[in-house]
Structure 1
């Protein structure tokens, strides 16, 4: 049986040694390379086929997110799982948007590390640690994992009438003015607004206007 080839990338040797020892007796995975920085890793990738890179996000320059972008561009068949002590939302989101296939905290148990490896390699699925999921909102998890695709899917879920109502709210019209313009009741306008808020996972009309500007539904 062909083993999954791993490369461990961390500027602390003790971390690399720890991960390697955890995986030493696994039948399906094999640590075939280690690197302490981006330069060493890129040299390895030029000379060796690696299935998955276990990558510390806070490497010396370039940092893990930038290095992930380089890997995705130059070695698209190689998967990247981020291993980091930082689980802040912007960092997690940045990693997935850069093209990472998985994100785990550094205190991850062996069982979950293997689960992430198999999910990414065998099923071509992105993996987000359960402990991180517990600290993030459902909408953020989707944004982190699917990035622009998720935003586009939300926009695509809007009906033509809902987009029209978004434009009218953005023009500063009141419920009554929108109702008169569209020849519907104010209650129907409010129902459409509530549907829009739910679909876009927003809270207020101001949020709707900001969304419309950001996604070029309206032009300033």
Structure 2
């Protein structure tokens, strides 16, 4: 079980210091706006911007807390539709930059053990993007998707349709979205403080940390 990465802070003369890095982003000009907004939300401070030739590519340079880089690579690829390139290098320790939210959306969480069904997934995928397809064994507390809104949402993706003698056209035309495939690095970037990555010889899954389970979800 692997938890989210954490930076190593320092305290000097009773002042809390954290590591900062210089992030260089190469992005097409037409996708620059969402990338700039994303870096700003993560406490990044732009100190250089250069245009490159007639291709419309822009180089952005930021000084940003290392905390703000957690999960940033995937977020920038999403914001730029896969066109941005991100490189980082350690710069120095500086004063604590304040709270940073590295993820805007919550998780979809299975609330019972079982095998996922097409019937349940058809309605579940309306709540966000799924990590699992039909016929997959899941357990209570496993993260099975990304909620389309902030906050976690419990789902029963193992629910089976009640047997009847009537078959509707709706049953025949159900189409499931292709589930997201996350690597180990992707999973570690995705999880937050109350979540873990489970690594086994056969699979990589994410789950809520039972010791930090939040009530009222």
Which TM-score band (shorter chain)? Answer: under 0.3
The structure whose RCO (Cα within 8 Å, separation 6+) is larger is: 2
Structure with higher helix content: 1
**Highest CA radius of gyration, 1 or 2?**
1
TM-score (norm 1): 0.22
Structure with higher strand content: 2
TM-score (norm 2): 0.22
